[in-house]
Amino acid sequence: MIIGTAGHVDHGKTELIRALTGIDTDRLREEKERGISIDLGFAPFNLTDGRVVGVVDVPGHEKFIHNMLAGVGGLDLVLLVIDAAEGVMPQTREHLDILELLQVKRGLVVITKMDLVEKEWLEMVEEEVREVMEGSFLADAPIYFVSSVTKEGIEELRQAIEEIAAAVPGKDSEAPLRIPLDRVFSVSGFGTVITGTLLSGKVRTGQTVELLPPGKEFRVRGVQVHGEMVEKAEAGQRVALNLVGLEKAEVIRGSVIADPGFFCLTRFCDTKLKMLSTAARPLTNMSPVHFYLGTARVVARTLLLGSEELKPGQEGFVQCRLDRPLVAHRGDRFIIRSYSPMITIGGGIILDENPRRHKRFRGDVLGNLEQLEKEDLSFVLQRLKEKGVATLEALSQRTKIGPGQLQKMLNEAVQRGDVVLIGGFFSTPEIVREWESAVIEELERFHRERPLQPGLQKASLAGALPYKLTGKAYDELLKHIEEKGLLVLKGDLVLKSDFTPRPSAAQEKKIVEILEIFAQGDLNPPSLKEIWEKFGFKKEEVENLVYYMVEEGHLMKITEEFYLHKDTYSRCLQALIDFFQNHESITLGQYRDLLQTSRRRAQALLEHFDGCKYTRRQGDERVPLRLPRGE
């Protein structure tokens, strides 16, 4: 769990954290000298049940909003701090707007410095606060009056935090590792240390992680949680990592530590953007804005996809085009501030972190974004359609959703019929139907053009699919179609379930003629080329006829250029069987003399018999292996 502060400068946020944790989160000399927080501060908060949660203290001065924004991503609970003497101030309102845009779900209002004002004044402050909070996520939040000096009200606030902490659901430790970095520094004897909030996944000593940017891999030398060395840390914790070989200059605030290969840098994000009702002017197409995501801050151009402008209070689909790449993920919340002057004007949610470049006012683009806005499954289905078919692991990597959460989502989708499970691969019903149609159409074409061939080679059939599909996924698809009774698999051949090779009457006549030629040729049959030239047949037709005769057992294929009539072949095999009745081995010369044929023909036959496992070569001789029984 991560707790964060928010509120106007000098309203007592840092003093409140010190009262709750005993830690002074102001670490910079300038902060000590000026008496205000400039950058993020961090502290552990010890719960009575033994758990330790992280606290992020943010600066309240308007000049350091960019630092404040780097600290409020991923908060589970926010403490909105208001000075009892000053009441609601400009940064109180801006921080509240930011928290609303980031959709922080839980919060407490803490009115500090209660020891400096009268009770009647506190009542007026409370009334003002209730009016300002109306309509926000803090509208019904309890208000706590405290003094960090006298400690009055601190224990009651601590108890409220304890109760909320007990109800906060755990984050997904099975999802890909992701840590937006908010601090980098050097420690003598250790090297570069980086810190951040572990949003998802887990990290352990010895693990290889990726730093984005620049996109380099490092090994984790050490892991700390709240200053204590640990073997591993899990989602929801504040962590410090020491990476082997990492140079401080390679890290910027906004870089992300992640599992290698899961996240990528992007310069385009499809978003749903909402303008604050208090924004001074409308957002126009391609306006430059300051874009804040996680701990990163970049400049973005806003491509308005469905409108000419977004007026204060309006929302719409926007493609944000970033001036430098960062790591984004679907579901991330972001903030935009006007380019000049820098004022918070809106924020929204990432719908697609790696989209194509869009043109404006495209119905298909807006329709897809509407679907993406509704549910995570629409996002998963879009990624699945891009791939065609994917395993759970591949889809998890493509969507950045943890395998456990994704498996549950897919199981429900399979039961509803929104997703098809084929073997260990997921696809969509539309894609599977498209593949089935393509396969059947190709088989029908093949059978129509080559009615004598018993089937199409699997490798050749794969080329007819609208998506490239190879390996096990392809085999599983064919099995799936076979189970539906639409095709039959015979080794490497595929044929329609209702197909049987049948020659026409004209082809039957040609088959008889060709077989007669092979019978007459005996051990010196004609080549296929001689046949089509002698009879004027087409080359492809002769090849198809010969293929059919081989499959039917009328001809035997010895080599690509050497075929024998079945009777001739039987005689050659029988001669070999008879010879081995009285001999343990046979030479090429002996077999040649036995058949009264050429050395080339005898060698081709013996090599064929080796391939059939009838014989085995030993030096210059053959010995029987698994000869069929002779007549």
Residues 229, 216: contact at Cβ < 8 Å? no
Chain segment 447-506, per-residue pLDDT in tens: 888 887 888 999 999 988 887 787 899 999 999 999 999 999 999 999 999 988 788 788
At residue 267, the pLDDT reads: 96
Mean pLDDT is highest, among 26-40, 451-465, 530-544, 549-563, for 549-563
**Total residues found in the chain within this entry:** 631
Q: Which residues are CB-neighbours of 48 under 8 A, at least 6 positions away?
A: 162
Residue 436 has pLDDT above 80, yes or no: yes
- CA dist 259 and 486 (Å) reads 43
- CA dist 486 and 481 (Å) reads 6
Percent of the chain at pLDDT exceeding 70 = 98
Residue 589 has pLDDT above 70, yes or no: yes
Q: Could you identify the residue written with the tokens 């830690």?
A: 23
Residue 35 has pLDDT above 80, yes or no: no
- CA dist 121 and 16 (Å) reads 20
Q: Which residues are CB-neighbours of 186 under 8 A, at least 6 positions away?
A: 192, 193, 248
Higher pLDDT, 375 or 164: 164
Q: Which of 534, 432, 440 is nearest to 480 (CA)?
A: 432
- CA dist 591 and 597 (Å) reads 9
Chain segment 131-184, per-residue pLDDT in tens: 999 999 999 999 999 999 999 999 999 999 999 998 888 788 888 999 999 989
382 phi and psi angles, rounded to 5 deg: -65, -40
| Number of continuous H segments (helices) and E segments (strands) in the chain | 19, 33
Three-state DSSP class for residue 405? helix
Dihedral in degrees, nearest 10, Cα atoms 455, 457, 462, 465: -20
Can you tell me the mean pLDDT for 180-190? 88
At residue 614, the pLDDT reads: 95
- CA dist 236 and 169 (Å) reads 10
At residue 59, the pLDDT reads: 83
At residue 347, the pLDDT reads: 97
Residue 53 has pLDDT above 80, yes or no: yes
Chain segment 226-262, per-residue pLDDT in tens: 889 999 999 989 999 999 999 999 998 899 999 998 8
Residues 288, 333: contact at Cβ < 8 Å? no
Q: Which of 546, 547, 447, 432 is nearest to 488 (CA)?
A: 447
At residue 335, the pLDDT reads: 96
Q: Of the ranges 64-73, 94-103, 182-191, which one carries the lowest mean pLDDT score?
A: 64-73
Instruction: Give the confidence band of 28 by pLDDT, cuts at 50, 70, 90.
Output: low
Residue 631 has pLDDT above 60, yes or no: no
Average pLDDT, the chain: 91
- CA dist 555 and 552 (Å) reads 8
Domains assigned to the chain: 2-167 (3.40.50.300), 178-258 (2.40.30.10), 265-370 (2.40.30.10), 375-427 (1.10.10), 430-496 (1.10.10.10), 505-624 (1.10.10.10)
At residue 32, the pLDDT reads: 58
Q: Could you identify the residue written with the tokens 């009702």?
A: 277
Three-state DSSP class for residue 514? helix
Residue type, 382: Q
Which pair of tokens denotes residue 98? 């930011």
Rg (CA), the chain: 38
> What sign does the CA torsion over 117, 119, 120, 125 have?
positive
Distance, CA of 170 to chain centre: 22
Instruction: Give the confidence band of 96 by pLDDT, cuts at 50, 70, 90.
Output: very high
Residue type, 362: R
First to last CA, the chain: 84
229 phi and psi angles, rounded to 5 deg: -70, 130
Give the helix/strand (H/E) hosting 100.
helix 90-101
Q: Pairing between strand 216-225 and 238-243?
A: antiparallel
At residue 449, the pLDDT reads: 82
Instruction: Give the confidence band of 2 by pLDDT, cuts at 50, 70, 90.
Output: very high
| DSSP strands (E only) in 11-51 | 41-46
471 phi and psi angles, rounded to 5 deg: 70, -145
